Structure 1
Amino acid sequence: MLNKYPLWKYLLVLFVIMIGLLYASPNLYRADPAVQISGEKKAVVDLNTLDTIKKHLTDQNIPIKSISLEDDKILARFDSVDTQIKAKDAIEVALGDESYITALNLAPTHPEWLRSLGANPMKLGLDLRGGVHFLMEVDMKEAMDKATKQLIDDFKSDLRESKIRYRTIKRRQGTDMIDVVFREEKYFEKGKRLLEKRFPDIQFIENDKTEAFDLRATLTEQRYNDIQEYAVMQNITIMRNRVNQLGVAEPQIQRQGANRIVVELPGVQDSAQAKKILSATATLEFRIVDTKHDVRDALNGAVPPGSELFPTNDGTYSLLKKRIILDGSHITDAQSGFDENGMPQVSIKLDSKGGTKMSQATKDNVGNLMATLFIEYKPTKEVDEKGLTIYRKEQEVINQARINQRLNRSFRITGIDSQVEADNLAMLLRAGALVAPIRIVQESTIGPSLGQENIERGINAVVLGFALVLAFMVVYYRGFGLVANAALGANLVMIIGIMSMIPGATLTLPGIAGIVLTVGMAVDANVLIFERIREELREGRSPQSAIHHGYDSAFSTIADANITTFIAAVILFAIGSGPVKGFAVTLSIGIATSMFTAIVGTRSIVNFMWGGKPVQKLSI
């Protein structure tokens, strides 16, 4: 029968719209201003901490909407931003310990059953939700120093393994070049061949051999660029992990230029706290403990040439070998658990290169202690000649464990005092080690009030555009205009639903502009269809035939117009910056949903209302 859908098509259209409505519904719930408390290092967040905070807030007459302990974090909700800020200050006084991280946040309020279905509100960008923006610069000098130091260790390890005797291997003062001095000419020739084979991206040059048999190693331009590229990309990955581990939701972290990183933290209202989280960059190193010398002698100034003295997390000191087995950048996973005796342990997995280094370093150290050295670069109040913050390097031994067998890509750290310490150590290892320190060179804060103002203006723009289009369609196309308006409403719901469903999709102010544009474009397809139906009616076709030919004839034109616009949106997303990408995302989604609602959606309503019926006149 003409203009009649089978039942399954009506149900399919209804199902798609209901799914969009379901996933769009969390956006109707307003987020609560909240304070999140988490522990750093050995700080424990438990029920005692919860009771302390609750009692102190009650004593200060600060009303709490709710407070709970989940996943070793406390989340306290409040009714207003002013109360939230007062509560944060009071909580910091109550805890009185810098090991606790107290961060302002916005907590979702939609029902648990929606969360269980994966239905969450749209992620809002910095310009809508407020938050902090940082432009950070990777310290490439430190990255090169670290890479050069690692090369020296690799040279020594390979030469020792091949029983090639050398006198000294050291970095040439003020350069990135490495001097390798051999004991005899026969070792020089063997060593040169071995190093050239093992390190094809290093250039080896022979020096004057009249008195010493030495070789100068310099980085090729490709290796130099690779080190810089690795430093930036690894730091981006590690910073994202650290921010996520510390509970900052939906961070936007991306590269800018050769050695800079842009970090945006929507919803974070405390710039100082965010800076603390990002600036306290850390690295990890595994070293062998020097048990042949007395720590007390080292404390009195007699530090052995091949060792260094470091403080431990229990207030004592430990003597470690200078040679670094490997750093945290080789760790791919770390999980806390229990060993066969029920004692806490941390299971660690390394990448292939890290596994090789660990195997070579531990084969001759079975029975010795291996230490995990935690290194932090903390900002000071001093600045350098460029006006950049000077960082203080703090080093601490956080764990020592005995090597019971030769280790490889998978091993475990035992001898840990408590499960809490094991959990914290696993978190630090998973978060990884920054290849080089990062400096904050620029920061800006967008307050939640400005973000709310942007949201209100954006919503007003959408509502105004929506209302004008609705009025025009009803006045100009009457009954069919109402059908188009229903499809337009479904289109808006589906855009919001899809934006809420896509992981990583963030709504920004330009994104709202894309929605406003989509509202206008969404009815364009219906205008083409309705005008074609009018034309068919003027040519004398019956209402049923005019509807059928109107939809069929207009389809190719609608498809051409929308496909070309979609291609333009894809190009904008591919080559555009953040704001342009936000516009392109909502425009692309809007084109796809408007095609569905304008062609399939309105056709379903028209068929349901007029299809297969003896209609003499259409309200169009």
Structure 2
Amino acid sequence: MATDTRRSRPVRTIVLLTILTILLPFGALLAGWQLDGKSSDNPDGASLAPGLALDLQGGTQVLLKAVTSDGSEITPEAMEEAIGVIRQRVDANGVTEAEIASQGNNQIVVEIPGEVDDETVALISKAAQMKFRPVLTIGNPTPTTQPSASPSASASADGEGDGAQADGADAEQDAPVGGQLTKDEIAEQQKAVEAATDPSDLAQITPSVQARFDELDCTDPKNLEGGGGDRPDLPLVTCDATGAAKYVLGPVEVDGTAISSASSGLRSGANGTVTNEWAVQLDLDSEGTKLFRESTQRLNTLESPRNQFAITLDGLVISAPSLSPGVVITDGRPEISGSFTQQSAATLANQLNFGSLPLTFQVDGQNQISATLGSEQLQRGLFAGLIGLALVVVYSLFQYRTLGLLTVASLVVAAAMTYVVIALLSWGIGYRLSLPGVAGLIVAIGFTADSFIVYFERIRDELRDGRSLRLAVQRGWVRARRTIYAAKAVNLLSAVILYFMTVGGVRGFAFTLGLTTIIDVMVVIWFTHPVMELLAKVPFFRDGHKASGLSPDRIEVTPRYRGAGRISAPSAATSDAPDHGTPEPERELVTAQSVTPAPRTADDGRRMTIAERRAAERKAAAGSAEATQQAQNEEKH
């Protein structure tokens, strides 16, 4: 087996690992704690401790009651769509590990870790409103001008601008994208709408609307959060829900409540045959049929993109279909077709059905959730983890004597790296450690110790074959790392599948399991192996001291059967004599054949056949055994 001939620099590797994966991240966390520390005014700031999820920290429970203004029935599909909208709002607000579920026929329970302010409650309880607006213009998602410092600067979806905001009566509108409109801007837009000939008139794009459109950046996730709050009587500057484009839309022409039903299916062709194209069919009520007929009569005469109407949900465009040339929809049954898949068509149909309900949410209650149960379970989990860690340490010291301390040190390094990474993730992306996540960390103790055991056993195998510790470390690492990589790849694949195929707490378990698997590989490569290379130069380990865990009696150096009548044993050069710093060549195995080589030529000079050589080997072995017996008899006499 070939060994790695590259020059090894174990000290440099250990120093780089310490600096890059421990000191620098911890320094960044410490600086963040000093400059952007977590507080009541800054709940998303940095903290030296990882953020805890709802089950460990406690938090706030908000009970929302869905109501309809017309008394219509709330379907389970509408509740599921409402949960999806609320989850999007909560996640976009920087809250992680929140739990959102339906309760009964018309209630939604939202449980959020930590303290919840009034703004968050208002955000999640805001109605998700669907509207049909004419498209005035479409642009690329990136801004074309730099945002100004005026109140019209781009802002997040809840309507709170990044720049200075208008106060008092000036803050009269919460636009879903583009910040709050000032009183002057509202007056300017109202005047333009009143002077417009129809809702598709480009004169409605006032200077303030154009400025907002130019500055809007739909590649910024903050502008894709939704939230509604747009005024139906004014133009709207907003983004496509996927961030692919930005729009200026005219005033609302048809409200989502005019949709009686929406469904998806394969589109029918001109001759009644079913095609392979998926489409969404709408059924409007009488008022919606009238309004939509008037709208399509006008849109049909306009150029692109003004022949399109946009469907907005929560203030974002979810679809903007155009009318086919010469088509006027008079029966209140429009069909939306395009590059739909079965899934995307069904999703749009569900959204349209949800938007057909005048659905709003009332805050039915707000309670504080205690973490008593989670804290108790955490204590038990940590106790179980300490027991497991103690057993790993005891086993390592018993099995490997002093060498077992390297296992302990590697576990300490892995724990430090894991702690710093989780703390940074808590600060950077709002990650919160849940009870299943803690379980993943505990399970990782055994997985991490596995890597060291595989490595040490490979080293022992090489020592049994008569090699020096230096060569055993080199060759053992080449053999061990393939096994380690294969095992960790399986662990990581399992974690990835769990994370993407599950929800809730199981994802927390999968995340920490995958994270610790990556850290485990980093530690065994950049810490355990380099330290082992250094220990191979220490006489205590190199010479096989009894307490080192590498002594001949601990690794059971005995001759081993190699097959085909051969045995192997360490060569005579494999002794406990100290190495005085001279390079030691790789030692070859000594076999029975090399001690008493069998002849390969007969007495007459010809080459012996295989059968003749084996017969000669047996004769030589018998002669050796007879000589040994004779020598023993002479010693007795």
Q: TM-score range by the shorter chain?
A: 0.3 to 0.5
Q: Which has the larger radius of gyration?
A: 2
Question: Normalized against structure 2, the TM-score is what?
Answer: 0.46
How high is the TM-score relative to the length of structure 1?
A: 0.47
Structure holding more strand per residue = 1
